[in-house]
Structure 1
């Protein structure tokens, strides 16, 4: 059963989950930074690169599907021991397949393992992060997601240096894989075993009850309403990550350098608001924060689409990034409001959100091929507006210790 954790134990737990978010971001960005080298070393074309990315994405969907089962069967903490090892091993197999074996098939196997391990870890680290947040009694989920962003920035920066030094893909990904593995396993050692995240060993009957609860959340209308919030914002974030540079170059006829700067502006705006998001939510409340930021994202994206000049486009990009920054983490936070259903609900919400991340960019690519990239972005405007309309679904439940805002819960000061 759960015991009362001391302040130092809570801080160690929080720090451990911060480290896991950072490590997964680092690993993902390290692979992405070596895509040009992968293409050259394997002697493949863009279509074959696309197939590799599809393999990784398809495996990630499998990982999402398995994550809830893993949490129910073994708990979030023990489950992450296996998924982090799978993610790290996948990175190392990719390095082996690319540089030494120069095997397309081995590389694909590594990417499949990496994709499944990362997506399953994503679900479980969010389950743990939600439990940490409830234990502290203040909004922390945006900050956890900011650490993932810090990891991607670090991974991209290290990748630039590694490429400049002429280090091969294998040595790079092996080093990162080992670092991710050590960081992940060491961090999990500081995570307490808690019934809240289903880490307590149970009887067969209790596991059956857990599976029943896990399935029951899919019959709860609130799960789908929160899913709509996350769906719109996941599309808003994913579309920028994958299509902003192309929209700037092909849509606004700017250079590739300007496209890269645009993506940097978006990423910085998103990261800054994730760092500041917790205090903002604790002041305004979860629902009003989501409503205001959805308006900001809609205004920003419309400004970008219609921008007559570069300064207005960049202002729009900054608003777009800021507005899209908190939808995903606050959706996770809302899903964890009921401690009895937290693990199952967060797993379900994460599945909806990550499916949008994985499936959204290819769908947008197909549509943009038919009508152009800037007109395609109007679809994202509609989805963001829909996300804002459903923001009321994130209203904290009576069982929640976070998200109401200071005007509604003056007694919850920590």
Structure 2
């Protein structure tokens, strides 16, 4: 098994995972920024947009559930390039379905591939990020997720630029897909074989035993406590990614470009807190930080719903983005507190978080057809409050064993 024995190897490993987080965020914001254009091009309503998102959610569920099998069978170093190319291909198909074929089913197929690849990749990159965090002994997952947020900032900003330059969805999506594929190359060339994929690291001899260890995490009550933290924050984050721009255009009367800029503002706020929030967590602890941020998210979403001016909508986006910033990374850190069980618990908790992140927004679309999009966002407010109340589950705990590998 390869080991990370030099600083150079560690830096390359970090760089590769940073790039993968960035690519995932880039892909999601690329899709989100073009939702209004796709809606117009296909002549569909919010219900049909919600069904498109449901197709992505179904793909994500399959990707999430298959990630543990892929990790156990192939290891993240070999599996991630395939899953990254899968969601990049999904973007291309979405673009072709929108502008070339003008076919709703083809866009649905693209979103299925998009969800399938992203779902599996999301679990793998969080497992790798947790392994790096355990190896270095530092709170790094917020920074990794900061790169995801930076990817969404770049994606939303490039989306606004593409709209301004009158790029078609197909051209825009294809360019972004090519950029994303670079991350697949970095994953294969710089991610080491690690404890994540090495059966001998846990005393297990076969990949089936590794799968059994993964399933054991679902018997731990703490998994579900951390899952509630992620549920609320992931719902609120995913809801913003998929519906914030559209809500600004249709309910607050902004232009399509301003809607994309609003999404970029949300993403910038989230990115800043993720990049610089680690020291605050080390000083005040996960629980205190999660409670404060739940309050920020709640305030931001209520303000977004009720804001009487565009200026206040942007203020709301800042509070909303800051509030949801650390829910997912700190949940991952909490799941990885015990290095001996980190991979299994991170996979389980990531599944809960990404089910909310990717499958929640389609449900919001279905509900919005009956009560309106802004009123539907009150569901996110309630879930953010629940997340704050569940934050003690993420309290720091002592590991039962030390990792047996330097990875």
1:1-400 matches, within 5 Å, as 3=3, 5-35=5-35, 38=38, 43-46=42-45, 49-195=49-195, 197-199=196-198, 205-244=205-244, 255-256=254-255, 262-304=262-304, 315-399=315-399
Maintained 8 Å contact 1:68/1:348: no
Equivalenced residues, count: 398
Maintained 8 Å contact 1:89/1:110: yes
Larger Rg: 1
Maintained 8 Å contact 1:74/1:199: no
Q: Which runs of 5+ in 2 are unaligned?
A: 402-407
Q: How far off its partner does 1:247 sit? A: 5.6
Counterpart secondary structure, 1:189 = helix
Change (3 A) 1:90 1:373: closer
Change (3 A) 1:138 1:205: closer
TM-score (norm 2): 0.85
Q: What is the RMSD computed on CA atoms of the aligned residues?
A: 3.2
Maintained 8 Å contact 1:17/1:144: yes
Counterpart secondary structure, 2:277 = helix
Query: In structure 2, what is the Cα distance between the partners aligned to 1:31 and 1:238?
Result: 12
Maintained 8 Å contact 1:226/1:349: yes
| Counterpart in the other structure of 1:409 | none
Pick which of 315-324 and 30-39 moved more: 30-39
| Counterpart in the other structure of 2:404 | none
Query: In structure 2, what is the Cα distance between the partners aligned to 1:98 and 1:199?
Result: 43
Change (3 A) 1:237 1:392: same
Render the CA deviation track for 1:90-148: whole Å, top value 9, x for unaligned.
33344444455555444433332222011111111111111111112111111111211
TM-score (norm 1): 0.83
Maintained 8 Å contact 1:194/1:200: no
Which structure would you say has the larger RCO, counting Cα contacts within 8 Å and 6 or more residues apart? 2
Query: In structure 2, what is the Cα distance between the partners aligned to 1:388 and 1:48?
Result: 32
Q: Which runs of 5+ in 1 are unaligned?
A: 402-414
Maintained 8 Å contact 1:72/1:214: no
Pick which of 50-59 and 95-104 moved more: 95-104
